[in-house]
Structures are given as structure tokens and as C-alpha cells.
């Protein structure tokens, strides 16, 4: 059965971006109905959403084909998404005011709501708005915070409407999982390290960074404070992470990881770290012609170092990409590096949006079958986070 999303669009300049959000949600397989406020209709038209979602669009408490639209829409929705959420609608939701269809529907809805604030930075940072956001969080609602950047009003600061794909990720998370990891500090590594041969050439590993990003995103949406240490990646880190540190070489990654690990309760080592590097990198570009011989030396084993330093309050999760004997090799790595959990996959999934992981935990018998997770990487990441919490 398809999950039902009620997209509520209030009257902010970012309202036009909700049209793309409706499209992305529909393409992702959700059934999307829309509520527009009167001010929202000053920026976008009902027909935009009706044409994209092929579902009903609502605006009025009293001029609707349904005699009690706020009750029926509130009961119908698996998740209500308010995007953009203006300072006005946040205030109404926090105070329990129900003077139009959107605010009345929020009051009648019994499940958590996802609010996506977007407004002028001064309005967002005003104590009244921050107090209203705090009230909404305390009641179990979800707040996808705005981006910091150049705003439509010309101001620079926090208040920018988030990228719509990030809203879709949040929807996918909150339909199934609570925001229950606040206060938990998580360290995730992602991407590939690259060791220079000369100023132009590199030795690197095959990794897009997608799995590590998905894990960081899943932890952050669950409420954890996530530090991401990453090498080369195809995509940018989510804007709402606590910190994203670019560490393109093994040495830089080792320095950043060991420092961040000290305050982390959960460490997920997903980066594809180079096992070897040139003994000495050339200071000038090596000219083409003839053969090239490289003297390679081993790089530091960051995961093994973390395993030696691990405290009783920490959980250490490693990854193993293999081409053969996946389970046997994973067991050997789990024990040798003192891991709590290892996620093993085949190298042919590198760079793909889909993956299949076999999970082996330190407490299980060697004869037990590994837990298998498969699907798109974000779905697998959500399930992996749940498994890690169970540790």
C-alpha cells in the first residue's frame, strides 16, 4: 500500500519550490495531496500541484467538496509535510490556532509533522520563532532546519529553503523511524582517499562515497550529532551535519578520525582508505614516456588503531568490500580489528545507488547466518542504523 503524504504549502517566497517537492514525492511512489493557504496561492497555483500529483488540492475549510476537510485530511495522511513553513504557520501550530484549513488540519492530526522552515534570517532567529520551534520539537514533531546562504530578500544567513531531495530523505526516514538519537555523537567516514604520485596523478580506491553519506544522513535525521570525515566523493555532504571534514589522504584522514573518535559513542568506518602509497611523491609532473616504476609502502591502518583505542562506551563498525569469500574474510577482519559489527559487500556495488550488505556482529556464533540488507543505499542505511542502535 502506498504511503500518503499531505503537502501543506504556506505563503513564503519559497512556495514555488514545493512544486518540485510534490513531483519528487510522486515519482518516489508516494500518494500526495496538497493544502494551500490563501497566501500560498499568491505564489503558486492549485493547478500546478493537481497536474503533478494527480490528486486533490485543498484550500478552504468552508468551500471544499468534503464537508469536514480538515478532519478527513488529517486522518488520511501518514505524514504531513509543511514546506515551506513560514514564521506565521509555525506560530499557529505552536499555539494551537486553527483559523484556516492548514492550521486546523495540523491541530486534528495525531502523528508527528515535518516542518520545513524558510524565511528571512531575522525572522528565523527571532526569539518568538525559536521558541515556537522548541515547542513543536518537544511535542515530537520534526524540524528540517533551513540552509545558511543568500536569501531571496538579499540578506545572508540561516533561513534558506533546503534542497528538495533532502526533504524526501527526511520524509522516508520519519515515516518509519523516530527522531530518538539526540545527544548521541556519531563519527562516519566516507569516500576514497587518494595518495599523490606527482602533482597530477593519484593512487586511489573505487568509491563514490554514497554509502557513507547515506549512513551519515540517516544518523543525522534520527537526531544524532554527526561528524563526517570524507575523502573524494561524487556528492556533497548534507548541509545539516554537525561537521564535515575533507581529508583526501590517509594521513589527513587518520589525524581527523583519531581526534573526532575521542568524543564519539558510535564510529562507522565506511571510507575506502588506500592500503598503499608511493614511498615518495614526485614534486614535478612525471612526463609521459616509457614505463613507470613505483615503490609502494603500506599506509596506517586507521580501523585497527580505532579498535585498539576503543572504550567500553563506544561501538565500532567497519566495512569490508570483497570479491570472494565475503563472510570468511569479514569474520577475520571483525576479530582482528576488534569490531562490534562489520558490513561486508561485493565490490561490484561500488558507485551504484543499490547495495547488498551482510552484517556480522561480534556476539553472534560463526555458524549463524549474517543479517542481509538490500535495496537503495539510503534504505539500507536506515536499517543499518537501527541495527547499530540495537548493539
How far the first Cα of the chain sits from its last, in Å, is 31
CA dist 273 and 261 (Å) reads 17
Residue 241's alpha-carbon distances to 189, 216, 272, 306, 379, in angstroms, are 13, 8, 21, 22, 19
Active site residues: 153
Q: Which of 75, 14, 23 is nearest to 54 (CA)?
A: 23
Residue 161's φ and ψ, nearest 5 degrees, are -60, 135
CA dist 161 and 141 (Å) reads 18
One-letter-per-residue 3-state SS of 61-125: CCCCCCCCHHHHHHHHCCEEEEEEECHHHHHHHHHCCCCCHHHHHHHHCCCCEEEEECCCHHHHH
Amino acid at each position: 500500500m502506498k504511503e500518503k503524504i499531505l503537502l501543506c504549502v504556506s505563503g513564503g517566497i519559497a512556495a514555488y519550490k514545493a512544486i518540485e517537492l510534490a513531483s519528487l514525492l510522486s515519482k518516489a511512489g508516494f500518494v500526495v495531496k496538497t493544502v494551500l493557504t490563501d497566501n500560498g496561492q499568491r505564489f503558486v497555483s492549485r493547478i500546478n500541484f493537481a497536474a503533478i500529483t494527480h490528486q486533490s488540492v485543498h484550500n478552504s475549510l468552508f468551500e471544499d467538496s468534503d464537508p469536514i476537510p480538515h478532519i478527513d485530511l488529517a486522518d488520511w495522511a501518514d505524514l504531513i509535510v509543511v514546506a515551506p513553513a513560514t514564521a506565521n504557520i509555525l506560530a499557529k501550530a505552536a499555539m494551537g490556532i486553527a483559523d484556516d484549513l492548514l492550521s486546523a488540519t495540523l491541530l486534528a492530526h495525531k502523528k508527528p509533522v515535518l516542518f520545513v522552515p524558510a524565511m528571512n534570517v531575522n525572522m528565523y532567529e527571532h526569539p518568538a520563532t525559536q521558541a515556537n520551534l522548541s515547542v513543536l520539537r518537544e511535542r515530537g514533531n520534526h524540524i528540517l532546519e533551513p540552509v545558511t546562504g543568500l536569501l531571496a530578500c538579499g540578506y545572508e544567513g540561516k533561513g534558506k529553503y533546503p534542497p528538495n531531495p533532502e526533504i524526501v530523505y527526511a520524509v522516508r526516514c520519519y515515516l518509519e523511524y523516530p527522531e530518538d538519537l539526540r545527544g548521541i555523537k556519531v563519527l562516519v567516514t566516507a569516500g576514497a582517499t587518494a595518495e599523490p604520485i606527482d602533482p597530477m596523478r593519484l593512487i586511489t580506491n573505487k568509491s563514490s562515497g554514497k554509502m557513507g553519506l547515506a549512513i551519515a544522513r540517516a544518523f543525522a535525521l534520527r537526531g544524532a550529532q554527526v561528524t563526517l570525515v570524507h575523502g573524494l566523493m561524487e556528492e556533497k555532504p548534507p548541509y545539516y551535519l554537525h561537521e564535515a571534514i575533507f581529508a583526501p589522504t590517509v594521513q589527513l584522514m587518520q589525524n581527523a578520525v583519531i581526534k573526532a573518535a575521542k568524543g564519539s559513542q558510535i564510529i562507522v568506518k565506511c571510507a575506502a582508505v588506500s592500503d598503499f602509497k608511493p614511498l615518495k611523491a614526485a614534486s614535478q609532473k612525471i612526463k609521459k614516456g616509457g614505463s613507470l616504476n613505483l615503490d609502494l609502502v603500506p599506509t596506517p591502518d586507521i580501523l585497527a588503531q580505532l579498535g585498539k583505542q576503543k572504550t567500553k562506551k563506544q561501538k565500532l563498525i567497519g566495512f569490508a568490500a570483497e570479491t570472494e569469500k565475503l563472510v570468511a574474510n569479514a569474520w577475520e577482519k571483525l576479530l582482528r580489528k576488534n569490531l562490534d559489527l562489520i558490513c561486508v559487500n561485493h565490490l561490484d556495488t561500488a558507485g551504484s545507488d543499490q547495495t547488498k550488505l551482510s552484517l556480522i556482529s561480534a556476539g553472534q556464533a560463526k555458524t549463524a547466518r549474517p543479517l542481509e540488507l538490500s535495496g537503495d543505499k539510503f534504505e539500507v542505511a536506515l536499517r543499518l542504523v537501527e541495527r547499530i542502535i540495537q548493539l
